[in-house]
């Protein structure tokens, strides 16, 4: 996963989020096989990328801008069913909840939600 970012008319910057997350004290972020879903949580000033890996787990890379990204295997953390395709994701400010909606391998629509 790579992020491209810029401010106004300044040059585009980019960085390898997967590599940066691997340097954090967490598990290494596996390669993606789906397009990512992303969102920014304004209430917590965090950025989040959710994607599916080859083992059909949903993975999250999250970070505070200027900080070090962290990888989380959401499927393991939530004891969730495996994903069949690209997830959708969003946050709700106020309660600061994060939501990932996806189709599981048993063709059910599922949600992983956390604060």
Using pLDDT thresholds of 50, 70 and 90, give the confidence band for residue 84: very high
Every domain of the chain and the residues it spans: 2-7+17-114
Instruction: Take residue 94 and report the two structure tokens written for it.
Output: 């106020």
Is pTM, for the whole model, over 0.85? yes
Look at residue 26 in the predicted model and tell me its pLDDT. 57
**3-class DSSP state of 19:** helix
The span from the CA of 8 to the CA of 64, in Å, is 20
Residue tagged 């953390």 (tokens): 77
pLDDT tens-digit readout, 55-67: 999 999 999 998 9
Taking CA atoms, 110 is separated from 20, 99, 105, in Å, by 29, 10, 10
How would DSSP label each residue in 72-98? EEHHHHHTPPPB-S--EEEEETTTTEE
């Amino acid at each position: 996963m790579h992020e491209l970012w810029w401010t106004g008319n300044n040059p585009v910057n980019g960085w390898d989020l997967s590599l940066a997350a691997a340097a954090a004290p967490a598990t290494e972020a596996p390669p993606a096989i789906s397009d990512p879903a992303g969102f920014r949580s304004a209430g917590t000033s965090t950025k989040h990328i959710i994607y599916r890996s080859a083992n059909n787990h949903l993975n999250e890379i999250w970070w505070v801008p200027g900080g070090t990204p962290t990888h989380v295997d959401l499927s393991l953390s939530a004891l969730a069913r495996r994903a069949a395709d690209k997830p959708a994701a969003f946050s709700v400010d106020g309660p600061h909840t994060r939501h990932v909606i996806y189709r599981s391998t048993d063709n059910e629509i599922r949600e992983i939600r956390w604060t």
